[in-house]
Chains A and B, each alone.
Chain A
Amino acid sequence: AQSVAQPEDQVNVAEGNPLTVKCTYSVSGNPYLFWYVQYPNRGLQFLLKYITGDNLVKGSYGFEAEFNKSQTSFHLKKPSALVSDSALYFCAVRGSNYQLIWGAGTKLIIKP
């Protein structure tokens, strides 16, 4: 079955520390992977995607994600967190019918 798992409902990080938001997936074939962010009372904004090529993908607002085929993971990372990074983060993978399969979301809280 095709699926996306975000194992943490919430991640708490102190400002200035590195952050990681985890995502694992299950899909047949080569995965197309996405990260989106949702700020309070807003729609989703695209952060980055992996289609092919370099396993480390760089995106908006200083975020990056590492594709790991053997671990079927696509974790979102940032070297130094900002309070303004506090938001809801969604991982998604393209399914066999070309539609996106979404994770449940991870709430990221950055404390000053």
Chain B
Amino acid sequence: DVKVTQSSRYLVKRTGEKVFLECVQDMDHENMFWYRQDPGLGLRLIYFSYDVKMKEKGDIPEGYSVSREKKERFSLILESASTNQTSMYLCASRSGQTRGETQYFGPGTRLLVL
């Protein structure tokens, strides 16, 4: 059974703090993703990674960075948190990139920036 875990379910941070969100998958998937989910906007891709140490910008990378030092772990970093980064953050993983392989999601981290 595929498992994607995220380090925190709920997080409260202050404006200007550096925030780390961690994601771990146990299925040896090559691809990993970070999304943010906001009401009425669906999911928006922040960054993705198709291999260790590789990263690609998604649709809304501004204010975020990522790190993938090991295949199973993908971290999202908010260098200086701002109130407009209050959101639900979802991590996902997927094997390969042909013929529409399924993405598997973690439970999400609800981040509140005060």
Contacts and interface: CB of A to CB of B under 8 A. Distances in A.
Contact of B43 (A9, A94, A102): A102
Given A98-B97, A102-B43, A104-B42, A45 B103 contact: no
A44 B89 CA distance: 11
B40 A43 contact: no
Interface residues on B, range: 20 to 34
Interface residues of A, number: 23
A51 interface: yes
Contacts of B99: 32, 51
Contact of A43 (B41, B97, B108): B108
Contacts of B34: none
Contacts of B92: 44
A12 B44 CA distance: 26
Contacts of A41: 9, 108, 110
B74 interface: no
Nearest to A45: B105
Interface in B61-114: 90, 92, 97, 99-100, 102-108, 110
Given A4-B42, A43-B106, A46-B102, 8 more contacts: A34-B100, A41-B9, A41-B110, A44-B43, A90-B42, A92-B43, A99-B45, A102-B43
Interface of A: 4, 9, 32, 34, 36, 41-46, 49, 51, 90, 92, 94, 98-100, 102-105
Interface of B: 4, 9, 40-45, 48, 58, 90, 92, 97, 99-100, 102-108, 110
